[in-house]
Copies of this chain bind each other. A is one copy, B any other.
Amino acid sequence: MQHILGRVASVTPLDTASMELARSRQQQLTKPAGSLGRLEDIAIQIAGITKQPLPNVKQKAVIIMAGDHGVTKERVSAYPSAVTSQMVYNFLQGGAAINALAHHVGARVIVVDVGVAADLSHLGLHSRKVALGTANMVLEPAMTHAQMLEAIQVGIDVFDTQLDRGIDLVATGDMGIGNTTASSAIAAILLQMPVIPVVLDGFISGAAALIAVKLNPVIGTYLLAGHNSVEQGHRLILERLGLLPLLDLKLRLGEGTGAVLAMSIIEAALRAHSEMATFTEAGVSTREEK
């Protein structure tokens, strides 16, 4: 518990010096000031997060936390719990939406079994099962306190492993029939904040981010909202977090799909920020001559 709280408390405020340098560069690039809109804001925010006036993204990953939810016994989903493990194998074989979209943006897909209600075995799977699914929260707490801490620790460990491999931008993903409870994603959120820009996906990761920001408001400045899900409640969460979604494509799949799509926009913002010529470099007039 102390370890987890320590990680959360250690999040530093954005680096204002890097942000100022980035803002100044945006003023000098060959375009009317502000005309790249939110692309400019993204570049400045990520400059502050990375402490680099010219940040770039080399390595991207989406971390999908998979788990089952006892509440499915209440028939809250159109799909049976068995679909969770079937979809985990689909991720590992590259056949799911998140695989196609991650392929498109060049992000690696990390699949973690935090609590799928079946014995899974695959070389590519990160097996860190806390339980064979949660309990039915209608009848009892979905997780014990110890399980909750263990799940968060899984997130920290998985992320640290990826950090060692290299990671500049991370998207949060989720899989679990009945995953209206945010438990698996909480882990991904809590741990990822202290190091890097994080792109949120839909309702599940949004709920987890709410908790993370409640623990430490500074975390909010590290987040980017990937998209505006059509799932009810997501808009309210983003409003509370003060985040404007980058995309509004009527997605409601989860898996990290919206977050990964938004990575492409974020990378474009950083590319414009670093590759464009300044007015001076290009010899372009900045104002009316007399």
Instruction: Give me the interface of A with B, judged by CB distance under 8 Å.
Output: 29-32, 34-39, 75, 78-80, 82-83, 86-87, 89-90, 93-97, 99-101, 103-105, 230, 246-253, 257, 261, 264-265, 267-268, 271-272, 274-277, 281-285, 287-289
A68 to chain B, nearest CB (A): 14
- Find out whether the CB atom of B95 lies under 8 angstroms from the CB atom of A253: no
- Find out whether the CB atom of A276 lies under 8 angstroms from the CB atom of B96: yes
- Find out whether the CB atom of A96 lies under 8 angstroms from the CB atom of B277: yes
With contacts A96-B276, A275-B99 taken as known, whether A104 is within 8 angstroms of B281 at the C-beta atoms is no
* Contacts A/B (CB < 8 Å), 11 sampled: A34-B252, A36-B251, A37-B250, A38-B250, A39-B249, A89-B283, A90-B282, A100-B275, A248-B248, A261-B268, A264-B264
With contacts A82-B285, A246-B249, A247-B247 taken as known, whether A36 is within 8 angstroms of B257 at the C-beta atoms is yes
- Find out whether the CB atom of B249 lies under 8 angstroms from the CB atom of A37: yes
List the B residue with the shortest CB-CB distance to A40: B250
With a cutoff of 8 Å between Cβ atoms, the chain B residues found around residue A101 in the complex are 268, 271-272
- How far apart sit A94 and B274, CA to CA, in the bound complex (Å)? 12
With contacts A95-B276, A100-B276, A272-B97 taken as known, whether A83 is within 8 angstroms of B264 at the C-beta atoms is no
Known pairs A30-B90, A82-B289, A247-B247 / 7 extra A-B pairs, C-beta < 8 Å = A38-B249, A39-B249, A79-B287, A86-B284, A97-B272, A100-B272, A249-B265
- How far apart sit A101 and B39, CA to CA, in the bound complex (Å)? 11
- Find out whether the CB atom of B36 lies under 8 angstroms from the CB atom of A276: no
